[in-house]
């Protein structure tokens, strides 16, 4: 049985907060549907104190902004985007189109068609999250999306130059300095200034995530996501200092970011908690990391690795870092996670920033039914059928007639009957002509 050394706040408190977010987002989306660009501008002024003549950057503005970014930053962006692009291309190569003849003259096929317009939301607000540009835009372009609209908010009324550079170098076709629900709603429903997209991808705060949830169906989304999560799995060999540093690395994302440790060692658990408390006061991002750890941090001590992996799957967390003697065992033992980070030499921050796998991952238990953003999310896998052999037309037509009438679908049955009649001369008893 697991012993819980540290609890999170009750779920009821979290649910109440989400109810308030849901109500606010509903109102903003409805207003943007009704008033379009005027509402977008009003919310940008209200939430971001930002109301330029045009929210979309011109090519000249983009070039000027990119030129202001230090050369080392540009080189680093290019390097990381190469990693993301290479991994996305390998994913694309794994998706096979095919055509197969299943009966004489019966050809069935599968092909992949990119969505024609995708929206990429790159969070800002407090931090310039350049890495989200790599994950959303580069991956969309590898998939072949012809139009990628990228939105990011200003930061304290200033243009986030490094983020704009990342968006541009990733291949964005349109760059908008627009954030929050107003950006998501504008991309989804369209305004006079912005044509709508077919799918929106990218992380964001609770309001952005709720906007995507409410608009899903009208448009596609990458996945339902909430605050960043980290789950550290540790045995007695783990270094408590590393455990603490890595837990706090994700807690700094926001005050509602869960950071959880499951360990087979009470000593590792207690020392990790002590290290967290030691490190927190000196963190520049303490104002986010401290409430995240206080309200959403958890520590569980279990008796065995079997219990550890079972409990880990129950959490179904976004990021799972495995600090055990045999970390690759998790590949066989676990089934519910967004991404695994195996061994002390690998950290979640690598995945967030530099290594090449996508950091847009499922949260709030969504890992039970989906993985994270990948090149296939921007593709529609479609099928096609062709029947040219008259014998197969007759066979399938008669079968279709019988199968449809079992279900009382006479119209379907008659479509099958007609094919059998044309191919083999079957009589259409229902046709009085």
pLDDT at 223 over 80: yes
pLDDT greater than 90 at residue 386: yes
Neighbours of 408 (CB within 10 A): 8
Mention every residue, 6+ apart, whose C-beta is less than 8 A from residue 192: 36, 37
**pTM for the full model?**
0.93
152 SS3 class:
strand
CA distance 389 to 424: 11
- For residue 12, what pLDDT is reported? 66
What are the strands of the beta sheet with 379-387, ordered from one edge?
Answer: 98-103, 106-114, 379-387
The predicted structure's pLDDT at residue 357: 97
Cα dihedral 366, 368, 371, 376 in deg (nearest 10): -100
CA 235 to chain centre: 30
Band (172; pLDDT cuts 50, 70, 90): very high
Q: Which residues contact 227 (CB under 8 A, 6 or more apart)?
A: 206, 253, 254, 256, 257, 258, 296, 363
Q: Above 90 in pLDDT, residue 14?
A: no
- In this prediction, residues 212-220 reach a mean pLDDT of 97
Residue 372, Cβ neighbours under 10 Å: how many?
A: 23
Residues with active-site annotation? 318-319
How far is the CA of 82 from the CAs of 51, 65, 233, 379, in angstroms? 34, 22, 30, 21
The answer to whether the CB of 343 falls within 8 A of the CB of 326 is no
For 148, phi then psi, to 5°, come to -115, 120
pLDDT for 126 beyond 80 = no
Least confident range from 123-137, 345-359, 360-374: namely 123-137
Which one has a higher pLDDT value, 16 or 142?
A: 142
Rounded to an integer, the average pLDDT of 64-81 is: 98
Is pLDDT of 128 > 90? no
362: left (phi over 0), alpha (psi -120 to 50) or beta: beta
User: Smallest Cα–Cα separation from 163: which of 149, 184, 177?
Assistant: 177
Confidence of residue 205 (pLDDT cuts 50, 70, 90): confident
pLDDT at 11 over 80: no
DSSP state of 242: H
CB 372 within 8 Å of CB 232: no
Q: Which H or E run includes 296?
A: helix 286-296
Phi, psi dihedral angles at 20 (to 5 degrees): -65, -40
Band (pLDDT 50/70/90 cuts) for residue 17 is confident
Report the candidate in 52, 34, 247 with the shortest Cα–Cα distance to residue 157: 52
| Contact between residue 215 and residue 252 where contact means Cβ atoms under 8 Å apart | no
The reported pLDDT for the residue numbered 225 is 78
pLDDT higher than threshold 90 for residue 226: no
- Residue 419, exposed/middle/buried by CB under 10 A (0-12, 13-18, 19+)? buried
State the Cα–Cα distance between residues 340 and 423, nearest whole angstrom: 56
Which secondary structure element, helix H or strand E, spans residue 243, and what is its range? helix 240-251
At 341, the pLDDT band (50, 70, 90 cuts) reads very high
Q: What is the mean pLDDT of the chain?
A: 96
Q: Could you count the other beta carbons within 10 Å of the beta carbon of residue 395?
A: 19
Cα-Cα end-to-end distance for the chain? 76
pLDDT tens digits, residue range 83-99?
Answer: 999 999 999 999 999 99
Contact 153, 144 (CB under 8 A): no
Q: How many Cβ atoms sit within 10 Å of the Cβ of residue 167?
A: 31
Position 309 pLDDT exceeds 90: yes
CA 124 to CA 138: how far, in whole Å? 18
């Amino acid at each position: 049985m697991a012993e819980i050394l540290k609890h999170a706040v009750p779920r009821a408190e979290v649910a109440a907060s989400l109810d308030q977010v849901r109500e606010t987002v509903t109102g903003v989306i409805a207003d943007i549907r009704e008033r379009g660009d005027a509402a977008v501008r009003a919310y940008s002024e209200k939430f971001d104190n930002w109301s330029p003549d045009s929210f979309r950057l011109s090519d000249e503005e983009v070039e000027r902004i990119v030129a202001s970014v230090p050369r080392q930053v540009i080189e680093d962006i290019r390097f990381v985007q190469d990693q993301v692009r290479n991994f996305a291309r390998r994913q694309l190569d794994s998706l096979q189109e095919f055509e197969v003849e299943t009966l004489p003259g019966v050809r069935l096929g599968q092909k992949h068609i990119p969505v024609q317009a995708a929206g990429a939301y790159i969070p800002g607000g407090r931090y310039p999250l350049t890495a989200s540009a790599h994950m959303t835009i580069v991956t969309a372009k590898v998939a072949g999306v012809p139009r990628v609209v990228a939105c990011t908010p200003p930061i304290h009324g200033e243009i986030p130059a490094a983020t704009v550079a990342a968006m541009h170098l990733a291949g964005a076709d349109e760059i908008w300095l627009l954030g929050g629900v107003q950006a998501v709603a504008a991309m989804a429903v369209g305004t006079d200034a912005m044509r709508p997209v077919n799918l929106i991808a990218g992380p964001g705060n609770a309001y952005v995530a709720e906007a995507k949830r409410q608009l899903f169906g009208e448009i596609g989304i990458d996945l339902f996501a909430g605050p960043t999560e980290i789950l550290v799995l540790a045995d007695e060999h783990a270094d408590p200092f590393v455990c603490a540093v890595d837990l706090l690395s994700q807690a700094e994302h926001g005050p509602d970011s869960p950071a959880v440790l499951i360990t087979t060692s009470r000593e590792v658990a207690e020392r990790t908690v002590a290290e967290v408390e030691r490190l927190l006061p000196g963190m520049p991002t303490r104002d986010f990391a401290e409430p995240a750890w206080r309200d959403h941090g958890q520590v569980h001590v279990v008796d065995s690795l079997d219990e550890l992996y079972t409990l880990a799957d129950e959490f179904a967390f976004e990021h799972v870092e495995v600090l055990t003697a045999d970390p690759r065992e998790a590949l066989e033992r676990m089934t519910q996670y967004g991404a695994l980070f195996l061994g002390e030499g690998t950290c979640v921050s690598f995945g967030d920033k530099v290594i090449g796998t996508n950091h847009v991952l499922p949260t709030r238990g969504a890992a039970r039914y989906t993985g994270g953003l990948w090149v296939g999310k921007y593709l529609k896998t479609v099928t096609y059928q062709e029947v040219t052999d008259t014998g197969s037309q007759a066979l399938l037509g008669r079968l279709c007639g019988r199968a449809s009438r079992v279900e009382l679908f006479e119209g379907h049955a008659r479509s099958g009957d007609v094919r059998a009649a044309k191919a083999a001369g079957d009589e259409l008893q229902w046709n009085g002509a």
